Structure 1
């Protein structure tokens, strides 16, 4: 049994800078490459630092969301205000969330690992709830003992 919990969360909004993922939804290598290229680009051009400057805490969100039949991917933060570079204010509903915790060497490894565990194992094991769509996110929460730690948050409903 994979280590996960089901937690109640208040609604919240993530200010995001996004990109459309063009790879087929089953092409995990292609999707991961697109995500890594996106992060590299926004870190190199300073956009990510600008986004972090309006954050209300240190959490960094990597959000997956279907918008108008497109696979969208966002780098995001919890923020009280917007900024011109932002492409979307992503609304997460109040309710129950499957939460998977982990730690890894890098942000990318953490995100890939948590996503794989959550969608590859946990959602199949959590028989009392179902993911019915909506945004989901990996949340990088900090570093300890040389590792990046965080959680995957997936909104679910009771079956």
Structure 2
């Protein structure tokens, strides 16, 4: 049984840098490699630091979204500001969200863990709710004692 909650959230906007994931959606190893390569690049080339500089808090959003029939993956932050080089302003709707909390040694492991629990268990168990698409995000919220803490947020509607 998955440990999750249903939470009401106001709409919010995440500013991000993104990449199109080219692997087939069933190729988890390929997708995870593309995501890892992307995160290595945004950490090395300063794009993540640029986002952090305009962020309203310390949260880092690891966003997945289907855009024009493409699987997109973003590094993002909450902000009211813009960066001319940013690739997307991602609008998350006001409403109910499946929320899965987790911790792991790295942000990548955290994202993989909470995403797996959310899509593999929580959405199946939340039988009164349905995910109808739209952006979803693993949110890195804190880091202490060698662990990264965060949550997976998936917008849902009541059936």
Does the TM-score normalized on the shorter chain lie above 0.5?
yes
CA distance in structure 2 between the aligned counterparts of 1:52 and 1:42, rounded to whole angstroms:
12
**Structure 2 residue aligned with 1:86:** 86
Inter-partner Cα distance in structure 2 for 1:19 and 1:150: 22
Q: Which runs of 5+ in 1 are unaligned?
A: none
User: In the alignment, which residue of structure 1 is the partner of 2:58?
Assistant: 58
- Mapped partners of 2:12, 2:138: distance in 1: 14
**Is the 1:47–1:85 Cα contact (8 Å) retained in structure 2?**
no
In 2: Cα distance, 1:125 partner to 1:100 partner:
12
Asked whether 1:95 is paired with 2:76, we answer: no
Q: Distance in 2 between matches of 1:79 and 1:86?
A: 12
Alignment of 1:133-144 (within 5 A): 133-144=133-144
| 4+ long deviations beyond 4 Å | none
Matches of 2:155 and 2:55 in 1, distance apart? 22
1:32-51 aligned within 5 A: 32-51=32-51
In the alignment, what sits opposite 1:77?
Answer: 77
TM-score scaled to structure 2, two decimals?
Answer: 0.98
Q: Which moved more, 1:107-116 or 1:137-146?
A: 137-146
Number of residue pairs the alignment of both structures matches: 159
The Cα of 1:145 is off from its aligned counterpart by 2.8
Q: d(CA) in 1 for partners of 2:2 and 2:75?
A: 27
With structure 1 as the length reference, what TM-score do the two structures score?
Answer: 0.98
Match of 2:145 in 1: 145
Aligned-pair CA distance for 1:80: 1.1
Structure 2 unpaired stretches of 5+: none
CA distance in 1, matches of 2:85, 2:36: 19
Q: CA RMSD in A?
A: 0.6
Q: Please say if 1:20 is aligned against 2:46.
A: no
Partner of 1:122 in structure 2? 122
How far 1:51 sits from its partner (Å)?
Answer: 1.1
